[in-house]
Structure 1
Amino acid sequence: MTVIGNQKLKILYLMKMFTELTDEDHSIRISDMIEELDKYGISAERKSIYADIETLKIFGMDISMRKSKNTEYYLASRDFELAELKLLVDAIQCSKFVTHKKSFELIKKIEQLTSKKQAQTLQRQVYVANRAKSVNENIYYNVDKLHQAIAENRKVSFRYFDYSISKEKVYRKDGERYYISPYSLSWDDENYYVIAYYEKHDSFVHYRVDRMSDITVLDEIRNPLKEETRFNIAEYAKQTFNMFNGIDEIVRLEFDNDLVNQVLDRFGADILIEKMSESTFSIRTTVKVSSTFYSWLAQYGKKVRIIYPEQVKQDFVKFLNEILNQYSNRKES
């Protein structure tokens, strides 16, 4: 049945059809458009649809026509190409700071930027195995608030936490609030950091954004940099952050309990933690074995041990001995 009021929506439903149902590989006939409009209670004649298609072209939609047995129409181009959307989807999946829930929500929105048929190819891009993701659902909004504070030249306050061995939040300073002057956000090694100016010591400090909670943008103007102070975020990040590279290897590692935060940081909140003793725990995971990995282990000294494989253990011992030999074999000048 035709609904009179719906007739005014005809051209909008045609736009919806071209956006959702057509692309370079999928087109639609005039008869299909008439049938689809009827589902919305809208009657249409071929002549009026031809006129509406011309109007949509004038509006800016790149509608093309192809002829076979029938004349068919499709949306030839969009703001984003399919390859670009796949790139965005993969970037979201790779982003450790974006939770699984938020990743799903963002990808569903990206799918709306192409046809339903092409969206299915994006869905096949979604599953990426063994990528650690943040467990802090608020990080998406944390980043937004920090961007706002930086743009408006404001200070922020927040609470900062670590994780216990049972993966529960433990707030630093007994939950007291931190007050900082944010100057930049840095995304390094799949984590977001806010870099803040510490006026008392004329230096910069950084905080993990996913470890921040209850962020408030204050009315107070942030501390200005001293005249002689230069802020180079690229140089700061280069000196402060690090990334692994090397050959993948399955290893089992034993840590003292007080290293649980560092383990969750490096390997993600989904890592299985097994109790070894009252003071230690172990994990089994795939790492990129390299001098960078060994350096990461070495910084924790006696608080970490390689259980297996034996070859990785021997290589680590060799790595340490080479460092020791560099000093024991060197004669004092």
Structure 2
Amino acid sequence: MPRKEGQKLKLLTLLEILSRETDEQHPLSVPHLVELLRERGVDAERKSVYDDIQTINSMPGAPFEIVQQRGRGGGYYMTDTPFEFAELKLLVDAVYASKFITARKSRTLIEKLGRFTSRYRQAELDRTVLVSGRVKSQDEKILYSVDALHTAITTGVQVQFRYCDWNLQKQMVPRHGGMLYRVSPWALVWENGNYYLIAYTEGHLRHYRVDKMQKVEPIPDVPREGADEYANFDVNAYTQQMFGMFNGPLKKVTLKCENRFAGAMIDRFGTGPTLVPFTGGEHFTLTVDVQISPQFFGWVAGFGTGVEILSPPEVRAEMRKTLDTLQTIYR
């Protein structure tokens, strides 16, 4: 092997060793680095390894640094990798929380993420017991659906798919006898652990759960529609108005809340709505746009007497009707 190519291989192998075999708690001495290089078929001398470490640290824009730990048991270790360890934990938690990623694919992704840190820290990311305990998708085809939707969004074309529901046999059954839906895709939203497609169809922007889609295919040479509607579309406001991503008529609703629920309202509706102190000082009101659905009434009921719908009258009346119906069932 030419000397120049051999030097490149040595640098790459040394980088791999430092990234996977070292961290602050596990530095390696230069003799040990030489030994590990030789185990990987790369001959090296001590002096050349010192020079290689200096070369690595002088690389412009490198997202890591090789640090020397002096004293007994010291050596060299890599301080940073392309991801900080806290960032890897966030990514791993997102994989765990995602319902649409199967348990098997979760383990595969987490293993791949673990390769961006030392093998010692990778063990801290291995929480496979949590994967088996979560409600996870059983169908890995959703990953291909997501990829097809991204392709259609990027290329600006329409997509077609079959939209399904669960039956009592726990099978996905296409709606409308397997009719093909054809829509113009604009965005993918991750909400409540599920992926949703925001798409334009029949003059409106609607959403579809990606895990309920089957046989998703971009339609080449058929440009998507709804550009003007999407230009004025606020994804964050849309998801805040909906409960459980269930559609309903949009209403401006005023809620009266006990002060202790200020955090819950901010978590749900963001910091935009004004919290107005109510007479007596123990409550506040806020007015928000909400898509009225049974899930919204269930959410309000979950606060007991701590949250009350003040207006509009028709929404307040519908809440009362819902409670009367429930009382009849559980009487």
Please give the range of the TM-score, normalised by the shorter of the 2 chains: 0.5 to 0.7
Q: 1:322 to 1:203 in 2, by over 3 A?
A: same
Residue aligning to 1:276: none
Query: 1:168-207 counterparts in 2 under 5 A?
Result: 168-199=171-202, 202-207=203-208
Q: 1:103 to 1:148 in 2, by over 3 A?
A: same
Instruction: Provide Cα deviations, 1:80-112, integer angstroms capped at 9, x if missing partner.
Output: 221221111111101112221221121111101
Which has the bigger relative contact order, CA under 8 A and spacing at least 6? 1
Contact 2:161 2:217 in 1 (8 A): yes
Offset, 1:320: 2.8
Offset, 1:144: 2.3
Q: Secondary structure at the match of 1:28?
A: coil
1:41 corresponds to which letter in structure 2? G
Inter-partner Cα distance in structure 2 for 1:203 and 1:138: 28
Residue aligning to 1:33: 33
Contact 2:101 2:136 in 1 (8 A): yes
Q: Secondary structure at the match of 1:143?
A: helix
TM-score calculated relative to the size of structure 1: 0.67
Residue aligning to 1:242: 244
Residue aligning to 2:96: 93
Provide the alpha-carbon RMSD of the alignment.
3.2
Q: Secondary structure at the match of 1:41?
A: coil
1:16 corresponds to which letter in structure 2? E
Inter-partner Cα distance in structure 2 for 1:23 and 1:229: 47
Residue aligning to 2:264: none
2:97 corresponds to which letter in structure 1? C
Query: 1:112-127 counterparts in 2 under 5 A?
Result: 112-124=115-127, 127=130
Offset, 1:68: 1.3
Q: 1:292 to 1:19 in 2, by over 3 A?
A: same
Contact 1:6 1:41 in 2 (8 A): no
Offset, 1:227: 7.2
Offset, 1:125: 7.3
Inter-partner Cα distance in structure 2 for 1:225 and 1:28: 57
Q: Structure 2: which 5+ residue stretches go unaligned?
A: 246-296, 303-321
Offset, 1:168: 2.2
Contact 2:186 2:230 in 1 (8 A): no
Inter-partner Cα distance in structure 2 for 1:209 and 1:134: 12
Inter-partner Cα distance in structure 1 for 2:230 and 2:147: 30
Q: Secondary structure at the match of 2:58?
A: helix
Contact 1:149 1:155 in 2 (8 A): yes
Residue aligning to 1:221: 223
Instruction: Verify: 1:12 aligned to 2:12, yes or no.
Output: yes
Query: 1:1-333 counterparts in 2 under 5 A?
Result: 7-8=6-7, 9-59=9-59, 60=62, 61-69=64-72, 71-124=74-127, 127=130, 130-199=133-202, 202-219=203-220, 220-225=222-227, 230-242=232-244, 291-292=298-299, 320-321=323-324
Aligned residues: 253
Inter-partner Cα distance in structure 2 for 1:58 and 1:180: 52
Inter-partner Cα distance in structure 1 for 2:230 and 2:35: 71
Residue aligning to 1:249: none
Contact 1:93 1:126 in 2 (8 A): no
Inter-partner Cα distance in structure 1 for 2:327 and 2:124: 54
Contact 1:63 1:75 in 2 (8 A): yes
- Mean Cα displacement is larger for which, 163-172 or 91-100? 163-172
Contact 1:156 1:181 in 2 (8 A): yes
Instruction: Provide Cα deviations, 1:140-167, integer angstroms capped at 9, x if missing partner.
Output: 2222221222232210011222222222
Q: Secondary structure at the match of 1:118?
A: helix
Inter-partner Cα distance in structure 2 for 1:103 and 1:92: 6
TM-score calculated relative to the size of structure 2: 0.68
Instruction: Provide Cα deviations, 1:205-231, integer angstroms capped at 9, x if missing partner.
Output: 221100111111112001234579942
Instruction: Provide Cα deviations, 1:212-267, integer angstroms capped at 9, x if missing partner.
Output: 11111112001234579942323332333338xxxxxxxxxxxxxxxxxxxxxxxx
2:224 corresponds to which letter in structure 1? R
Contact 1:6 1:42 in 2 (8 A): no
Q: 1:294 to 1:140 in 2, by over 3 A?
A: farther
Q: Structure 1: which 5+ residue stretches go unaligned?
A: 244-289, 296-318, 326-333
Offset, 1:180: 0.5
Offset, 1:64: 0.5
- Mean Cα displacement is larger for which, 226-235 or 36-45? 226-235
Contact 1:188 1:241 in 2 (8 A): no
